[in-house]
Chains A and B, each alone.
Chain A
């Protein structure tokens, strides 16, 4: 431990009790956030390992490292683990849990026991997922498309489905909790339009979780039911329609992409405002575009079905709706950039991550237009272009936003600073490694390389080798980040309450915060991001 004199008398949520039991039975939202962080880090490493296996295999056109069955299991488990057990809970469950109550001046979420139950549901789901992995892994693709998943695959599909199903209820519970918390637990004076944009993003995310998750739960439940009983709800051999399964699946799974990206957008708003020392430009537009994304996001799922046998008319409708959902994202981007105008930019680590987010999210979002355009989608559908596109959103957007947020609030969470130069190096390495991995994949897709291929024609090899090289750099960067963050949690410099001179209730309480979050009664008297009027704070 560092010898720097910390007032030993100051109790915070970390030092109230050190026992394992106190952690596993905690009702403190901050500790539950940490529990999630530990759990999803493990899943992240499992999923990341799968990614490296896949990329290593693809360095050569022949299937020499893995057999085709092993390869199929590797990419399926990569998707299942990272989506259901890492990305969906990442920012909402870790940063949301830790920060949301503090940001609205509450002592805790509305239902602390339910909050802990969510974590256990997540862990049970994760364990079931791990069991499916130990039993050999499943090979259906993370999309569980019927009838392959229901009648053809010879792998432990039901275990993985049970895992996603149970973890899904953890997500629903967290979402219900956040919605009620945001509606009912705000401190006096904290009106909706004084809320930090991170809270708006969390609210929009929770709305999606509540409305979408049950639909995928019932869908994969029916797939498992079909597998177990032999009834044919999605099996054409027994009269079912496999495309109905896709409709139901994407009714949730497309909005689920917004579950991943919206909180990252919220994080970015916070980081850019703090680094620019300015109020976010067009606050209302950014806030409402979160809600707009959440709601319109539910109307666009059919763009995953343009070439699947959905009717042409439905394709036209979903294409129009998909173009519409692009607009709120564009509004957000323009407003973030405008926030920097006339700012006082601190080029610290969080800002490095925010800029990386902007750069990659832009490409991710704009390449979405290629896929919402009906004709270009025909060619690009199910190729590496799609793989690159959604990795730009999920890694370039969601994960980079998450890691950026982790750096931004690390001092608050652990009470220690991470090493600044390592933080910047991490951001640069991730950006470079990521771009090297996925830019070539856009080209591969346009050249016609289909996804989920274990072997491929030789002419694609150069681009695949570039991509594999990038993946190793990305893997190295991620490992470095995990190591220095873990190191700094114990040995970093003690953090002041507000290292970024940022606005927001979380920066007014000590780092790390006390169990009850605030030692005084919170009353809010000023708008969010009030950087220009130096009023006396919130006392």
Chain B
């Protein structure tokens, strides 16, 4: 019970693991702090000026002792580093791919001073996030203006939300409830008001919420999935003129997601969300070898959430046909030898 007051609620798979490490470090800190302070007080009492004490043969150095208190703490730090590293990697680049595959992907746009969140099925929320319990959640996040940081203490997760670049984080909520959502990176006047709540729900409640949210927000676009919205934008922004199926001299986007692309400057880049985003905004910087540099930069012409919708659509073009790995690799191979 005492402990509970010093720890926030544990509502994700990470929480108990991080708390274990935290408490281990607390124990270590307490041991050294109290131990050394006890020794200091003991010395002060024993060797205080005027007190009778054995002060013969005072030593000034002792190499073995020095080595002991150098090497022992070093050794102690090795397992601590190890446990931490494992957790850290799992949080940002999960080694367990199966979990990552089956995750629910939520898109986060941070702006002064609110969080804008979108579910793949199209539902949008501001400063509130509804998620089902027990399912891995992947957040793909970007900021529209300055740095922000998406922080949910009960999940023990935090990652900066950076303008110009996607950052991701991943967690599995384990406990139904309502938890604080904070912005942890200073972002200006209303930094402390940039937050809200995360609601972890039973899966069936979540399904019900999705249904309500779809029709209940009074926003017809909520009825659209992200993919559909992306497809609509694809036409509205004239992407179809060159990338659409009917385009003359078509540059197809089918199947490119996740493949390696050879750029005109000789670099190889995996076509991930980040790559697609940059290709839309600043095509010159991401020019693929063998293509004419005719695509106009879209920087300043699309909103961050629209880019996310476009990316979802482009991804869907890759999800349909055959197993992704093989032909894609061959395709990039072919481009490489061009």
Contacts and interface: CB of A to CB of B under 8 A. Distances in A.
Q: Decide whether A and B assemble into one complex.
A: yes
A342 B55 contact: yes
A519 to B, nearest CB: 31
A141 B187 CA distance: 10
Contact of B151 (A312, A450, A454, A532): A450
Nearest to B44: A345
Contacts of A374: 81, 84-85, 87-88
Contact of B69 (A239, A334, A379): A334
Contacts of B93: 312
Contact of A282 (B66, B92, B182, B299): B66
Contacts of A382: 149, 151, 158, 184-185
A375 B88 contact: yes
B146 interface: yes
A335 B43 CA distance: 13
B49 A373 contact: no
Interface in A340-394: 340-347, 355, 358-359, 362-363, 366-367, 369-370, 373-376, 378-379, 381-383
B7 A446 contact: yes
Given A337-B39, A362-B32, A379-B158, A284 B153 contact: no
B228 interface: no
Nearest to A367: B29
Contacts, number: 258
Contact of A447 (B8, B54, B55): B8
B48 interface: yes
B157 A283 contact: no
Contacts of B43: 337, 340-341, 343, 345
Interface in A424-472: 443, 446-448, 450-457
Contact of B192 (A359, A373, A454): A454
The interface residues of chain A, by DSSP majority, are classed as helix
Given A347-B44, A382-B158, A307 B153 contact: no
Interface string B132-165: 0000000000000111010101101111101111
Nearest to B187: A148
Interface string B30-59: 001100110110011001110001111111
Interface stretch (A21-29, A114-122, A220-228, A324-332): A324-332
B91 interface: yes
> Is the interface on chain A under 10, 10 to 19, 20 to 34, or 35 or more residues?
35 or more
Interface stretch (B70-78, B116-124, B206-214): B70-78
10 contacts: A72-B186, A237-B299, A241-B165, A284-B61, A307-B158, A309-B165, A327-B73, A358-B37, A447-B153, A451-B184
Interface of B: 6-8, 14, 17-18, 21-22, 25, 28-29, 32-33, 36-37, 39-40, 43-44, 47-49, 53-62, 65-66, 69-70, 73-74, 77, 80-81, 83-85, 87-89, 91-93, 112, 145-147, 149, 151, 153-154, 156-160, 162-165, 167, 180, 182-193, 282, 285, 299
Given A152-B188, A331-B70, A375-B21, 10 more contacts: A312-B89, A326-B77, A338-B62, A342-B54, A344-B55, A363-B33, A374-B87, A376-B18, A376-B22, A452-B191
10 shortest interchain CB distances as A-B pairs: A236-B164, A448-B153, A374-B88, A375-B87, A453-B192, A382-B184, A366-B29, A340-B43, A148-B146, A379-B156
